[in-house]
Amino acid sequence: MKTVSLKIDDSIFGETEKILSRIKKPRNRYINEALDYYNKVQRKNILEKKLRKESEIVKSDSMSALKDFEEIDYAD
Domain coordinates in residue numbering, the chain: 10-71
Query: What one-character-per-residue DSSP string does 9-76 give?
Result: -HHHHHHHHHHHHHHT--HHHHHHHHHHHHHHHHHHHHHHHHHHHHHHHHHHHHHHHHHHHHH-----
pLDDT tens, residue by residue, 26-64: 999 999 999 999 999 999 999 999 999 888 888 878 888
Q: Is the whole model's pTM more than 0.85, yes or no?
A: no
Q: Do residues 20 and 8 touch, judged by C-beta distance below 8 A?
A: no
Checking if the pLDDT of 76 tops 70, the result is: no
Cα 4 from Cα 16, distance rounded (Å): 17
pLDDT tens, residue by residue, 2-33: 999 999 999 999 999 999 999 999 999 999 99
7: helix, strand or coil:
coil
